Each structure stands twice: as C-alpha cells, then as structure tokens.
Amino acid sequence: MPLQARILLSLVSIAIIPLALFSIVAYSVSTNNLSAVERDALYSGTNSAKHALENIQTTLAATLTDYTQWDDLHRVAALDSPDNTWLTENFAPETPSSTYNNYNLELLGLWNAHQQLLYNTGLTDAMVTQLGTVVKESLAADKRPFGKF
C-alpha cells in the first residue's frame, strides 16, 4: 500500500473513531435523560390520578354517609322526643363526619311534622325569625299540614 493511502486511511480513522465514540456517549446520555424525564412525568401523572381518586372517594363517602342517615333521620324526626345522641352524632359541628361538616353548612335546623324544633346549630334562630312568618303564611294558604305534601 502506498504511503499516500496509508496517511489518508490514518487521517480518516483518526476522525471516525472519536466521532463514533462521541456518538455512542451522546446517545447514552440523551437516552438516560429522556428516560428520567419520562419517568418523572409518569410519576407526576400517577400522583395526580391518585389524588383525584382519593378526592372522589372522600366525596362519595361523605355523600353516602349522608344518604345512609336518611331513614334514621325520618325515624328520629317522627318522634316527639328525639334521640339527642343520634342528633349530636350526625349533625353536630364537633363531629367530623356530620352532615353539617360534610356539606360545609353555616346553619342547620331539624323540625318534626308538628313544627317543633328538634335540633339546630348555627344562626338558625335568626333564620327562623326571618322566614317564620313566610312559612306560616304559605302553610296557612296551602291548608296542608306541615311535612305532608
């Protein structure tokens, strides 16, 4: 092989070998970085979905708890002397799972069919004073007993 060909081959190999090594290193670094970015995005998306499902579960649990109280509520409201323990457990602001807290209410009042106040919390008295005449007038005009529609 002539000297000129050897020099040309040497120059080409000197240029190609570092270029090939640089290509391999660049490919591995970029692949690792992209994998880390994809892993972080997947982790973030999974956490978002997890929090959304937990929120749905909490909301459903609060609503279902309220619906499970529905029959008992009518049973208690029908009594002339209600079960104060049940009312406190299910309506009091001090109870974390109460209807008052589940729906972020500012006032809550429970009357029976004889228009007797069984339980109240919040500014119910002021609301009864404001609405009392309106409710009584509408009931008198309707000629139907309270609670029977």
For the chain, which residues make up each domain, given as ranges?
69-142
Mean pLDDT for all residues in the chain: 80
Question: What's the rounded mean pLDDT across residues 108-136?
Answer: 76
Strands (E), 14-129: 107-111, 117-122
pLDDT at site 149: 41
90 close to 98: Cβ distance less than 8 angstroms: yes
118 three-class SS? strand
pLDDT over 90, % of the chain:
12
pLDDT at site 66: 63
64 close to 56: Cβ distance less than 8 angstroms: no
User: Each residue of 58-81: pLDDT tens digit?
Assistant: 888 777 766 666 777 877 877 777
Q: Taking the alpha carbons of 123, 102, 80, 141 in that order, is the dihedral positive or negative?
A: positive
pLDDT at site 140: 62
Integer Cα distance of 117 and 91 in angstroms: 14
In this model, does residue 7 exceed pLDDT 50? yes
Q: How confident is the model at residue 148 (pLDDT cuts 50, 70, 90)?
A: very low
User: Each residue of 9-54: pLDDT tens digit?
Assistant: 888 888 888 888 898 998 988 888 888 889 999 999 999 999 999 9
Question: What's the rounded mean pLDDT across residues 121-141?
Answer: 70
Integer Cα distance of 126 and 82 in angstroms: 23
Integer Cα distance of 37 and 114 in angstroms: 66
